[in-house]
Amino acid sequence: MKLNRSVNSPLATNKRARHDYEILETFEAGMSLLGTEVKSTRAGKIQLKDSYIEIRDGEAILVGAHISPYLQGNRENHDPERSRKLLLHRRELDKLYGRTTIQGLTCIPLRVYLKNNRIKLEIALARGKKLYDKRAAAKSRILDREAEEGMRRDD
């Protein structure tokens, strides 16, 4: 089964991320994957729910992402929950490390997509939202929607 995906089309998104976190800055990272992981990811069999990025020993590691085993992978298949190394520039790694340790921010994955036939991961530095922030965001969305509907009716 061959899927025709356009440039930067998302293979997977973390929908809870924008709801639970205030996104401050985004980065693009490559992922170090095994062969069966690449095939499974290209088929869209990846979940980013409850995953996060950890900085260990000067490397960024994606923890908690689930890539389903490849159906034709037999004994060569990968562990679905294994930690995966992210490929970032040293300056970006230093920035992520400093902002997460000193400022107490969180580094989370937002989406996985194809770019020039390579699998990329969009990661973000984020600050957790409080319950009242989530309520305010929901209220503003509702107000915006009502205003937009009012503008359509006037036309």
pLDDT of residue 2: 52
pLDDT digits (tens, 9 = 90+) for 84-134: 999 999 999 999 998 888 888 889 999 999 988 889 999 999 888 777 777
Locate 112 and state its tokens: 């996985």
What Rg do the C-alpha atoms of the chain give, in angstroms?
A: 18
Task: Check whether 1 has a pLDDT greater than 50.
Answer: no
For residues 142 and 43, the answer to whether their CB atoms sit within 8 Å is: no
Residue 24 — φ and ψ, nearest 5°?
A: -100, -40
User: In percent, how much of the chain has pLDDT > 70?
Assistant: 93
- Report the C-alpha gap between 145 and 147 in whole angstroms: 5
Read off the pLDDT of residues 53-72 as tens digits, 9 standing for 90 and up: 999 898 999 999 898 888 87
- Tokens 């991961």, located at residue: 121
Q: Is 71 left (phi over 0), alpha (psi -120 to 50) or beta?
A: alpha
**How many Å apart are CA 60 and CA 87, to the nearest integer?**
7
Interatomic CA distance for residues 44 and 147, integer angstroms: 36
Q: Which domains does the chain have, with CATH numbers?
A: 10-129 (2.40.280.10)
